[in-house]
């Protein structure tokens, strides 16, 4: 699906708030721009029904004017059964405002965040500093000047990541999706090479004072050479005089496991944690209850409840 550029207002948007990033997700729904806050939703068909609901773009909802979000939600038509999204953790809002916008607001994930105003020796754990030093002896780290020209190398790396972790759904992303993302304003590509061959890379979206870690992937050789440690160190140095914070996001899955390897790895590059909230709003109570009852379900902690089995 292509966007009709005459019907959108995208002036000043970058990264997750930009139309091109939203368009990269149209394999999973039809786009709708919220006219006041200038954020994007994906409308989806509800399985085994004639109804639709909406979600914010993955991995987080971003917009240009947070103060207008509650007005946009209030004006959504009842043709949508419900709305759910996860706002970016650096959005200009607080929990009270989210509760003004949504009836359901719950802590969802803890994001690992690095304050780049701190000395790098205070940011990075002793273990990670040691392994970064080793990795930097094995690989060369650099910013790719033309992200879209990196598409072939990136897709190859990402396919290895998908196979390694059995990633499915929106997190798997397609080549078409990445082609749009790599041409989205605000994208930064940092890569690690060994003997001229790309062995790892990180995609970031930069918005104002924050660099958001989007996706990273490494080849088997990259893991062996310590490219992950080298590239994270390089990213901190690269962004230090460009933004205030790096947001490494949380860990995958529906719960944060403090004992997981990825949790431990990200913690070693972080100075603080910030909570991401899951937000939900029923837009058509009659249809919502009809779907829940027709599926033999009852009220539970999953939102929307009628998607519990999907």
Element (H, E) at 111: strand 104-115
pTM of the model: 0.92
Instruction: Evaluate whether 190 touches 211 at the Cβ level (below 8 Å).
Output: no
Residue 200 burial by CB count (10 A; 0-12/13-18/19+): exposed, middle or buried? buried
DSSP 209: T
Q: What is the pLDDT at residue 8? A: 56
CATH tag, 5-110+275-307: 3.40.630
- Does 118-243 carry CATH code 3.40.640.10? no
Q: What is the pLDDT at residue 251? A: 85
Among 38, 39, 73, 45, residue whose Cα is nearest residue 57:
39
Fold agreement (5-110+275-307, 118-243):
yes
pLDDT in tens, 145-182: 999 999 999 999 999 999 999 999 999 999 999 999 99
pLDDT in tens, 179-198: 999 999 999 999 999 999 99
The domain locations on the chain are: 5-110+275-307, 118-243
DSSP 307: G
């Amino acid at each position: 699906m292509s966007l009709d550029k005459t019907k959108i207002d995208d002036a000043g948007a970058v990264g997750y708030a930009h139309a091109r990033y939203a368009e990269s997700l149209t394999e999973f729904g039809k786009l709708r721009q919220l006219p006041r806050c200038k954020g994007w939703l994906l409308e989806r068909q509800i399985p085994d029904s004639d109804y639709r609901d909406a979600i914010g773009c993955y991995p987080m909802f971003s917009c240009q004017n947070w103060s207008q979000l509650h007005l946009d939600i209030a004006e959504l038509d009842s043709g949508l059964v419900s709305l759910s999204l996860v706002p970016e953790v650096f959005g200009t809002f607080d929990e009270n405002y989210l509760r003004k916008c949504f009836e359901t607001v719950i802590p969802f994930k803890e994001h690992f965040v690095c304050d780049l105003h701190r000395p790098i020796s205070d940011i990075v754990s002793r273990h990670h500093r040691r392994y970064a030093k080793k990795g930097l002896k094995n690989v060369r780290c650099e910013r790719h000047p033309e992200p879209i020209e990196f598409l072939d190398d990136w897709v190859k790396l990402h396919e290895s990541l998908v196979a390694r972790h059995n990633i499915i759904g929106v997190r798997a992303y397609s080549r078409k999706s990445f082609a749009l993302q790599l041409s989205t304003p605000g994208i930064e590509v940092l890569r690690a090479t060994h003997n001229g061959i790309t062995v790892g890379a990180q995609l970031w979206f930069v918005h104002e004072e924050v660099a958001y870690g989007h996706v990273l992937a490494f080849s088997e050789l990259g893991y062996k050479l310590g490219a992950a440690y080298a590239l994270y160190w390089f990213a901190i140095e690269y962004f230090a005089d460009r933004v205030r914070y790096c947001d490494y996001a949380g860990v995958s899955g529906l719960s944060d496991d403090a004992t997981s390897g990825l949790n431990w790895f990200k913690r070693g590059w972080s100075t603080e944690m910030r909570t991401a909230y899951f937000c939900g709003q029923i837009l058509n109570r009659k249809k919502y209850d009809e779907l829940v009852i027709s599926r033999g379900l009852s009220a539970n902690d999953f939102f929307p409840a009628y998607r519990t089995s999907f």
